[in-house]
Amino acid sequence: MFKRALAGIIAAGVILGVGELVAVPFGRNSSPFFAVGSAVVDNTPESVREWAIDTFGTSDKIALFVGMALVIALISAGAGLLRRPLGAVLFGVLGVLGVLAAVTRSTATPLSALPTILGVAAGIVVLHALIRTTEEPSEGMTRRSFLGLAMAAGVVAVAAGTAGRLISQARDVTANRLGFMLPTPTPQPPIPSGADLRIDGLSSYITPNENFYRIDTALVIPQVASDTWSLRIHGMVEKELEITFEDLASRDAVERTVTLTCVSNIVGGDLVGNATWIGYPLKDLLEEAGISDDADMVLSSSHDAFTAGTPLEVLLDGRDALLAVGMNGQPLPVEHGYPARLVVPGLYGYVSATKWVTDLEVTRFDKVTAYWTDRGWSELGPIKTASRIDTPRSGSAVNAGTIVIAGVAWKQHTGISGVDVQIDEGDWIPAELSEEYSVDTWRQWTYRWEATPGDHTIRARATDRTGDIQTSTTADTVPDGATGYPKVFVTVR
């Protein structure tokens, strides 16, 4: 039984390894593993997706890969335990699903089916060969043959998969990005030292690129070179534009610091970050195309066909909505949209922050829908007044005396005017705010608490510049962002 189950698992490894290698000329989205994974992402119920993000945060894709590997191992072990030819039939059925997943990706061609077809064929051959060694010697092989054949098949699986991965990495855009020359922007005013309180445990005012949250639908990060990239602006416009980096070189770039937030951020969550972006005003690009008076939405599309619908008025009202090409003084990291993405203050990312952007269609909300609105999320996605407690951490134990409570608050394109702190069920007490740099960025805050022994609950709430106080009403992230007060529990010794 064990050998047969192991035979199924090894055969599945061969399928995946061969599929990865054969996928090299057709793109990694055609490999059986990533094609199925992408299909899972696209068709996962919203409740399951939000649970995954709440549980695993920015490691949600790693969790998906681990879960898929476990499911594949269980199914393939079952295929090995089945009588011949039922195991091969099961692999064939799974192969059909893999082919369907591969050929329905946005960048697929009929040849995208080949990695799965050839991988499954190789896996079935290996499965039959391994199963024969576990049967009677009269079948032509002894049981002692199993170990040698299993090791050989395992080497093939690992070698093929590794080779495919290495070749794919060699073809990525890392070298292109290293050679990318950022434009020299019109500089923004310097960020005052008072904007960053530099308190232990408090998020820095500028979020380093490597710490900036990443939430998107791309299991395989799109590889788009700057010398082949272009942006098409079309739809309800007077003239269609096709913009390349050569065209952008003649335009004036700007530098702006903007906080971005994911709509999947739970109350007190970390799916928010502040960065300094270099880019080109979207307003100028859209107005150059000439916009129809009847249009009210821009549908942005990424290289991998993700879409987001942004209210047109937000892109034209003078806020710093950018076609961004730089992040914190560097070309955009590949995982954050290199070579170009959208940055729009005041909206959640699912309706505005399209990475790897290649297409802007000026249209109407009553004509087209976008990726997440098709899945039940709201159309407009305005940012809600929010705050977070960074220190002390929930569940920590601290000594009695003066304790520094600190965190961040945000309401992009409106600004934060105050933050209050509540200890247990006491009065709300104003915290001290860092110096405001702009209404499009978060503000740090701090409160010095004379802590007494015992278990305590700390809450925070922010007030924006219109006087809107962060609501105490608890709401889930779906359909337009979570609400409620962030709170931490601490023990004072």
- Residue 143: band (very low, low, confident or very high) from pLDDT cuts 50, 70, 90: low
**pLDDT given at position 66:** 87
Please tell me whether residues 347 and 454 are part of one structural domain: no
pLDDT tens for residues 323-364?
A: 999 999 999 999 999 999 999 999 999 999 999 999 999 999
Q: What is the DSSP letter of 409?
A: E
Please tell me whether residues 368 and 402 are part of one structural domain: no
Q: Is residue 380 part of a domain?
A: no
Pairing assessment for the beta strands 397-398 and 487-492 based on DSSP bridges: parallel
pLDDT tens for residues 47-58?
A: 787 788 778 877
Please tell me whether residues 46 and 125 are part of one structural domain: yes
Please tell me whether residues 352 and 440 are part of one structural domain: no
Cβ contact 408:450 at 8 Å: no
Please tell me whether residues 162 and 207 are part of one structural domain: no
Q: Give how far Cα 383 sits from Cα of 158, 166, 460, Å.
A: 46, 41, 18
Contacts of 452 (CB under 8 A, 6+ apart): 400, 492
Q: Is residue 183 part of a domain?
A: no
Give the domain-ending residue among 333, 355, 375: 375
pTM, entire model:
0.82
Q: Give how far Cα 43 sits from Cα of 39, 40, 47, 61, 153, Å.
A: 6, 5, 12, 15, 33
**pLDDT given at position 251:** 96
Q: Is residue 185 part of a domain?
A: no
Nearest to 177 by CA among 357, 330, 74, 48: 330
Side chain identity, residue 68 = M
pLDDT tens for residues 172-218?
A: 798 899 999 999 999 999 999 999 999 999 999 999 999 999 999 88
> What distance in Å separates the CA atoms of residue 340 and residue 244, rounded to the nearest whole number?
11
Please tell me whether residues 226 and 338 are part of one structural domain: yes
How big is the chain, counted in residues?
493
Give the domain-ending residue among 375, 400, 430: 375
Q: Positive or negative CA dihedral for 470, 475, 481, 484?
A: positive
> What distance in Å separates the CA atoms of residue 356 and residue 350, rounded to the nearest whole number?
14
Count of domains observed in the chain: 3
> Exposure of 211 by Cβ count < 10 A (0-12 exposed, 13-18 middle, 19+ buried)?
exposed
Name the residue range of residue 89's domain: 2-170
Cβ contact 486:454 at 8 Å: no
Cα 46 from chain centre? 15
pLDDT tens for residues 430-458?
A: 999 999 999 999 999 999 999 999 999 99
Average pLDDT over residues 248-277: 97
Please tell me whether residues 31 and 166 are part of one structural domain: yes
Cβ contact 309:368 at 8 Å: yes
Supply the DSSP string of 355-387, one letter for each residue: SSEEEEEEE-TTT---TTGGGT--SS-BPPPEE
Cβ contact 235:367 at 8 Å: no
Side chain identity, residue 36 = V
Q: Is residue 63 part of a domain?
A: yes
Please tell me whether residues 153 and 70 are part of one structural domain: yes
Nearest to 273 by CA among 189, 210, 339, 220: 210
Give the domain-ending residue among 338, 353, 375: 375
Instruction: Compute the chain's Rg from CA coordinates.
Output: 27
> What distance in Å separates the CA atoms of residue 151 and residue 164, rounded to the nearest whole number?
20
Q: Is residue 180 part of a domain?
A: no
Please tell me whether residues 83 and 147 are part of one structural domain: yes
Please tell me whether residues 342 and 220 are part of one structural domain: yes
State the CATH number of the domain containing residue 302: 3.90.420.10
Cβ contact 453:283 at 8 Å: no
Please tell me whether residues 263 and 313 are part of one structural domain: yes
Please tell me whether residues 162 and 224 are part of one structural domain: no
> What distance in Å separates the CA atoms of residue 303 and residue 228, rounded to the nearest whole number?
12
* Residues of the chain above pLDDT 90, percent: 67
Q: Give how far Cα 111 sits from Cα of 16, 104, 118, Å.
A: 17, 12, 11
Contacts of 176 (CB under 8 A, 6+ apart): 225, 226, 227, 339
Q: Is residue 190 part of a domain?
A: no
Q: Is residue 177 part of a domain?
A: no
**pLDDT given at position 142:** 56
Q: Is residue 214 part of a domain?
A: yes
> Exposure of 321 by Cβ count < 10 A (0-12 exposed, 13-18 middle, 19+ buried)?
buried
State the CATH number of the domain containing residue 481: 2.60.40.650
